[in-house]
Amino acid sequence: MKKLLAEGFGTFTLVFFGVGSAVLAGSGVGLADAISITGISLAFGISVVAMAYSIGQVSGAHLNPAVSFGCLVAGRMSMADFIGYVIAQLAGAIIAALLIYMTVETQVGGYDVSVNGMGQNGWGEGFGAGYGLAGAFIFEFVATAVFIVVILGVTSATGNATMAGLVIGLTLTMIHLVGITITGTSVNPARSVGPALFAGGAALSQLWLFILAPLLGAGAGALIYKLGIASESDP
């Protein structure tokens, strides 16, 4: 139960401050300049660093069904734990998205979700730089695969546990710096599900890609690591 609570809380924190940086700070909050792509990327990355060093010793701080799936494929967790983690992660992400929605609705003059969005992921005309379905899928698949290889490597028996949280957080920042204009950057089905439920429309109809591509990418990353990189001391 402690592991599940940690995963729910950690995923909540990631979504509330990561997605929140785009939704709540994206309007500029009365300042001359709104938060930039760099700022949003750092919000996601720093959230992971904070959770890695605070709850990592409890649950491993996956915060992401794709990360948990990668660990499952790599033999680092059981199917029962995987299912529990995913449920907790989805719950945390949905609660975070709900609170972001409730907060932004208090904005003076109102907030039109259909116009301004909820930090949802997507692709196509009118979203980001207008990349197509294939480009969105390729990015999410490759980025998640790289993310999983980094996570499995740095948390392995021969990895540097002291630096693991920082390395993982910086890797997620790197991924966001490239991916925000392509898909808004998911690499995390829970992060995508939460905002999509409140954004509706295209966000819901395109949600399948942000579940399928990260899971496939995570599986590929786990196999790449297990077959080509892992040492004999790894599980």
d(CA 206, CA 101): 20
Q: What is the pTM of this model?
A: 0.91
What is the pLDDT at residue 97?
A: 96
d(CA 163, CA 131): 35
Q: What is the SS3 assignment for 32?
A: coil
Query: Which domains does the chain carry?
Result: 2-110+118-228 (1.20.1080.10)
Cα 213–135–193 angle (5° rounding)?
Answer: 40
What is the pLDDT at residue 95?
A: 98
What is the pLDDT at residue 128?
A: 87
What is the pLDDT at residue 43?
A: 95
Per-residue pLDDT tens listing for the chain (235 residues): 899 999 999 999 999 999 999 888 865 444 445 678 999 999 999 999 999 999 999 998 999 999 999 999 999 999 999 999 999 999 999 999 999 999 998 887 777 887 788 999 999 998 889 999 999 999 999 999 999 999 999 998 787 888 999 999 999 999 999 999 999 999 999 999 999 999 999 999 999 999 999 999 999 999 999 898 876 666 5
d(CA 19, CA 142): 21
Tokens of 148: 């999983």
Per-residue pLDDT tens over the stretch 2-19 = 999 999 999 999 999 999
| Cα-based distances in Å from 215 to 64, 86, 130, 220 | 10, 12, 23, 9
